[in-house]
Amino acid sequence: MPQISQLAATYASQVFWLLIFFGLTYFVIGRGMVPKVMDTVAMRDKQIADDLSAAEAARKAADEQEEAWRVRENENRAKAQELIAEAKAKAAAETEAKLATAQKGFDAKLETAEARIAEAREKAAAEIETIAAEATQSIVARVAGLTVDDTAARTAVRKELA
Amino acid sequence: MHQFTIEPMFGSDAWAIGGYNIAFTNSALWMAISVIVLWAFVAGGMKRQLVPGRWQMMVESFTGFIDDMLEANIGTAGRKYVPYIFSLFMFILFANILGLLPLGVIGLHPFTFTSHFTVTGVLAIISFAIVLIVGFAKHGLHFFSLFVPHGTPVPMIPVIFVVELISFMVRPFSLGLRLFVAMMAGHVLLEVLSSFVIGSGNYSAGIFALAGIPSFILMVGICALEILVAGIQAYVFALLTSVYLNDAENLH
């Protein structure tokens, strides 16, 4: 077994070179390079965490904005409804007023027209009386040869017409 | 056993510091290769892109794996040991896997330096020393309460203390020997099986069919197992070191 048979002759060289090369490994690779590699990993982890928190913050902001938009939208809708209701009420009132005035005009016209009709009817009745009285006088004169005065004829006609 | 032989290279046999021979051996060469390959692997993942490529992802999953292991065993205080545990895990992992490469096919001799207890022992002692230094620096003499578990009856304390102390002192040995034995056993097993294949082939076609072919099929399976063991032993070494560090960091 060379490990034992060569021990006395080689242990010093083995230990010496091991210390040199393991020392190189430790100081150059272990202390020099490994921390940088781990820094890179830590940096990446930090970047990922930052990105995640930024995304979370952005999501929250978007939610808030959406909420604000919703509130504004609701307000606007309520305002619009109010405006519509107001306009409707106004329009209804106006229509009513117009209808009322128009009705009044109609009523007045109707009244005058009725008055005129009544007047015309009276006149026509009077004329009929006169004509009837005259006709009666002439009929009586022709048939009986009597002369009936105007008043008697009218009274007789009025009696017949009534 | 030739694969475990240490040979000085590039005529460096006589190099010495203070009377200690420090020849640049094949073992040292494979340590250098492990460091270079590991450096290249980690350097390929240093592009520091926000969206990682495959290579960067691979390197980051290794650092993340060590980070998670320390966090699970020690807690957030464990993060400062990431450079050490990462170095330990990757150095052993690359050594184990590079030592398994079938480079013999092209005439090179891979050398698994983790199959030498001089190497695994030093790594274990470094880990143990860090545990002791952290333990005494953080808790002072209170660190000795590690050897008296909670709820120990007072008359039992001296006995338990000795038992716990022994089990604590055995840790560097078990840590170092486990890796050394696992790596060496796997390589020896492959060598024995391959000697069956070649020996039976040289003997006769009948024996080859009887012993050589089953041995070869077994070798394929054991090669797969050895790749698994290479990863598991590196993991066990790093895991146990972090468990021991937890004792030092948090006591019980």
Rounded to whole angstroms, the Cα distance separating B87 from B236 reads 14
Confidence tier at B252 by pLDDT (50, 70, 90):
low
Range from B140-144, B188-192, B211-215, B245-249 carrying the lowest mean pLDDT: B140-144
Residue B160: Cβ within 10 Å count: 14
Is residue B108 within 8 angstroms of chain A, CB to CB? no
HSE-up of B123 (CA within 13 Å, CB side)? 35
Nearest neighbour of A33 by CB, restricted to B5, B17, B42: B42
Say if CB B249 and CB B138 are below 8 A apart.
yes
Distance of CA B49 to the CA centre of its chain: 31
Q: What are the residue ranges of helices labelled H in chain A?
A: 2-5, 7-24, 34-144, 150-161
Q: Give the contacts of B206 (CB within 8 A, at least 6 positions apart).
A: none
List of residues 6+ apart from B191 with CB closer than 8 A: B1, B3
8 Å CB contact between B193 and B221: no
Least confident window among B30-39, B179-188, B242-251: B242-251
With contacts defined as CB-CB under 8 Å, which chain A residues touch B180? 3
ipTM: 0.86
**pLDDT over 80 (residue B232):** yes
Contacts of A22 in chain B (CB under 8 A): 31, 87, 91, 122-123, 126
What is the rounded CA–CA span in Å between residue B14 and residue B24? 10
User: Which chain B residues are closer than 8 Å to A5 by Cβ?
Assistant: none
Average pLDDT over residues B69-96: 90
Sign of CA dihedral B85, B87, B93, B95: negative
Q: What is the DSSP letter of A147?
A: -
Q: Report how many domains make up chain B.
A: 1
Across the range A65-83, mean pLDDT stands at 96
Q: In whole angstroms, give the CA distance from residue B88 to residue B60.
A: 16
